[in-house]
Amino acid sequence: MADTTLEAPAATRRPRRIRWETVGDHVVLILGSLLMMLPPLIALTTASHDAVTIHREGLQLTLGDDLGKNFKNALFEKGGFTKNVNGMLMLMNSFILGIGFAVGKIIISMMAAYAIVYFRLRFATLAFWIIFTTLLLPLEVRILPSYEAIQKLGLTNTYTGLIVPLIASATGTFFFRQFFLSVPEELAEAARIDGAGPWKFFIDILVPLSRTMIAAIFIIMFVFGWNQYLWPTLITTDESFFTLVRGIKQIVLTYTDANIPEHGLALALAIVAMIPPVAIVIFFQNWFVKGLTESDK
């Protein structure tokens, strides 16, 4: 009550000053939005021009006539060094990596977190520490030995070699552990009294309860997997396993090594590589923000 009486007269006495301040805020926000929006948008408009124009004049601000042609060629024309990989194949590999990584990570980390939180286990603390030490060292730090390990196991150029080592970190387990700890104690007690076993409790109660959490973590992990670059670069040398993000450099190099670099095609491919993760982040914004801020990645 007190604050309304304090604020109201101030607002009527000096309306102009307040309005200018708001205008200033909007100017800053619009400039910020332009800073973030323009580079990808200019990439899109540039991708609609033919190779000669882009080569001679650089980035284009207007839409040209070749948008459909460039996208069609980028997706269906065989490219790369061996000429047997096209955009569609790389798109499929990207989806396999993104979805495979996200689903694998969720299943494995949910199971581990459930075991740690809900069971009286003598070595629970030990398991906890074995798993959580992995949070300390990202894959990039141990990239060379990880590569050697994959090579010794004969898993180079396989989806297993591509996906599984990326799962070997505890981000997901840590996230689900936190969530399970916040689930009321009474739920497990009630389930036990009703005669539900641990497996039934997990599948019928805990998993449905975690739906929002699963969605949030799925988005984060899908984007993370889709955007992997260094690991796929090392593990896949066979072009039929290339993802878009991994293959883009090779494709760009072969496209741009020509007399007139095919920047239109390269940009079209770059945009194809952006669309799925960007779309998922925009459409499931609330889950995405929740997953990001609550997982403390």
Partner 1 sequence: MKRAGFDNIWLPVALLLPQLMIIAIFFYWPAGWALQSSFYLQDPFGFGSTFVGADNYTSLIGNDHYLRVAWFTVVFSILVTFFSLAIALLLAVKADKVLRGAKSYRTLLMWVYAIAPPVAGFLGILFFDQSTGPMTRFFQMFGWDFKLGVDYNATATAMIIVSVWKQIPVNFIFFLSGLQSIPRSVREAAMIDNRSATGRFWQVTFPLLAPTAFFLLIINITYALFDTFGIIDALMKSNPGNNPMTLVYKVYLDGFRGNDLGGSSAQSVVLMVLVLALTVFQFRLVERRIHYT
Decide if residue 33 touches partner 1 (CB under 8 A): yes
Minimum CB separation of residue 82 from partner 1 in Å reads 18
Strand partners, 79: 85
Tell me, what amino acid is at 24? G
Identify which of 45, 51, 88 has the alpha carbon closest to the alpha carbon of residue 67.
Answer: 45
Decide if residue 39 touches partner 1 (CB under 8 A): yes
> How many residues lie near partner 1 (CB under 8 A)?
101
Minimum CB separation of residue 154 from partner 1 in Å reads 13
Decide if residue 11 touches partner 1 (CB under 8 A): no
Considering only residues 107 to 126 of the shown chain, the ones binding partner 1 according to CB under 8 A are 108-109, 111-112, 114-121, 124
Residue closer to partner 1, measured from CB, 65 or 140: 140
Decide if residue 293 touches partner 1 (CB under 8 A): yes
Minimum CB separation of residue 155 from partner 1 in Å reads 10
Q: In a 10 Å sphere around its CB, with 0-12 CB exposed, 13-18 middle and 19+ buried, how is residue 230 labelled? A: exposed
Contact pick of 92, 149, 203, 260 for partner 1 (by CB under 8 A): 149
Stretch that binds partner 1, among 69-77, 83-91, 176-184, 206-214 (CB under 8 A): 176-184
Decide if residue 225 touches partner 1 (CB under 8 A): no
Contact pick of 106, 188, 206, 221 for partner 1 (by CB under 8 A): 188
Decide if residue 227 touches partner 1 (CB under 8 A): yes
- Please give the Cα distance from 114 to 129 (Å, whole number): 15
Minimum CB separation of residue 200 from partner 1 in Å reads 11
The SS3 of residue 13 is helix
- Please give the Cα distance from 245 to 87 (Å, whole number): 11
Strand partners, 85: 79
Q: Taking the alpha carbons of 256, 259, 260, 265 in that order, is the dihedral positive or negative? A: negative
Stretch that binds partner 1, among 38-46, 65-73, 83-91, 203-211 (CB under 8 A): 38-46
Minimum CB separation of residue 273 from partner 1 in Å reads 5
Decide if residue 169 touches partner 1 (CB under 8 A): yes
Structure tokens at 96: 């396999």
- Please give the Cα distance from 108 to 170 (Å, whole number): 10
- Residue for token digits 């609550």? 294
Decide if residue 59 touches partner 1 (CB under 8 A): yes
Stretch that binds partner 1, among 65-73, 76-84, 209-217, 289-297 (CB under 8 A): 289-297
Phi, psi of 58 (to 5 degrees): 80, -150
Structure tokens at 74: 């980028």
Can you give the length of the chain in residues?
297
Contact pick of 19, 26, 78, 83 for partner 1 (by CB under 8 A): 26
Identify which of 297, 169, 168, 146 has the alpha carbon closest to the alpha carbon of residue 235.
Answer: 146
Phi, psi of 83 (to 5 degrees): 60, 25
Minimum CB separation of residue 72 from partner 1 in Å reads 20
Contact pick of 168, 203, 258, 260 for partner 1 (by CB under 8 A): 168
